[in-house]
């Protein structure tokens, strides 16, 4: 079952998403679930619909999930120029609390999965949200690197207040405000639940020190790092995608169910 939903974030703006449910929840308290956090310029479907495919695979395995658009992305309220990392972290916390209150969801068995900048978001809230398990896909470990990435991959837009273009999106200078105050590696040091780090070997944006540093930083004793041979940043090939989804579903099946 797939149900469109909307809920309010920390500033009472509307975020929109989709809940996937297994065909049957066998316990009165509810079953395990996962919340997805998309990447920079992404949305709740993500590149080549990998979030949709993973959510449906999780449902087949008996695990519910929520995919949603951060404020300023996808079909949620706001403009992309409103996007900030700290705002997305607050949105993520609101999404987890909203999902925990839904029928058929066990509030004590919620996992998180984040892609790229969404991985930094997931790592940042894993402890405060009491996530039961965590999966990071091509996750950004150093938010301050966004400045260099933007300089290398965007073009200035004349007539704007410092705006730059990336793939048809207007990136506001506000994105880079207070980046040094967001330290996902430090946040994850206190996280002791099972953690899976999946990273592409040929990531064109985030080199292999990002997954290695996440793997070393996390406080979990049950943890695993997987490098997908030959893969690009969004795992944009059928074999790469299948491996990411298979490993993710297996991880949550073992550690949430």
**pLDDT at residue 27 greater than cutoff 60:** no
123-162 pLDDT, tens digit per residue, is: 999 999 999 999 999 999 999 999 888 888 999 998 778 8
Element (H, E) at 195: strand 195-200
- Specify the pLDDT at position 24: 74
Q: Which class for 209: exposed (0-12), middle (13-18), buried (19 or more C-beta within 10 A)?
A: exposed
- Specify the pLDDT at position 86: 95
- Specify the pLDDT at position 28: 64
**% of the chain with per-residue pLDDT over 70:** 98
- Specify the pLDDT at position 76: 98
* CATH numbers and ranges of domains, the chain: 2-256 (3.40.50.1820)
Determine the average pLDDT of the residues in 35-61: 98
Strand order in the sheet with 64-68: 2-8, 14-20, 64-68, 31-37, 105-115, 133-137, 195-200, 223-228
Q: Which class for 178: exposed (0-12), middle (13-18), buried (19 or more C-beta within 10 A)?
A: exposed
**pLDDT at residue 177 greater than cutoff 90:** no
Best CA proximity match to 240, nearest among 97, 75, 79, 50: 50
Best CA proximity match to 198, nearest among 171, 236, 233, 160: 233
- pTM recorded for the entire structure: 0.96
46-50, 153-157, 199-203: which has the minimum mean pLDDT? 153-157
- Specify the pLDDT at position 26: 59
């Amino acid at each position: 079952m797939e149900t469109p939903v909307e809920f309010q974030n920390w500033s009472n703006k509307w975020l929109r998403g989709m809940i996937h449910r297994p065909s049957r929840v066998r316990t009165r308290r509810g079953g395990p679930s996962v919340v997805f956090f998309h990447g920079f310029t992404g949305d709740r479907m993500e590149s080549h619909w990998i979030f949709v495919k993973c959510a449906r695979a999780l449902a087949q395995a008996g695990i519910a999930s929520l995919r949603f658009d951060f404020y300023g992305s996808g079909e949620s309220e706001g403009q992309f120029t409103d996007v900030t990392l700290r705002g997305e972290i607050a949105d993520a916390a609101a999404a987890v609390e909203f999902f925990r209150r839904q029928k058929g969801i066990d509030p004590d068995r919620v996992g998180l999965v984040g892609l790229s900048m969404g991985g930094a978001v997931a790592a940042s809230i894993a402890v405060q949200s009491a996530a039961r398990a965590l999966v990071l896909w091509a996750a950004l470990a150093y938010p301050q690197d966004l400045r260099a990435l933007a300089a290398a991959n965007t073009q200035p837009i004349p007539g704007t207040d410092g705006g730059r273009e990336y793939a048809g999106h207007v990136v506001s200078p506000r994105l880079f405000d207070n980046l040094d105050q967001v330290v996902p590696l430090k946040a994850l040091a206190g996280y002791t639940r099972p953690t899976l780090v999946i990273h592409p070997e040929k990531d064109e944006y985030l080199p292999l020190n990002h997954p290695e540093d996440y793997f070393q930083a996390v406080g979990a004793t049950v943890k695993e790092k997987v490098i997908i041979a030959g893969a690009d940043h969004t795992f944009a090939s059928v074999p790469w995608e299948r491996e990411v989804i298979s490993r993710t579903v297996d991880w949550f099946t073992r550690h949430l169910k």
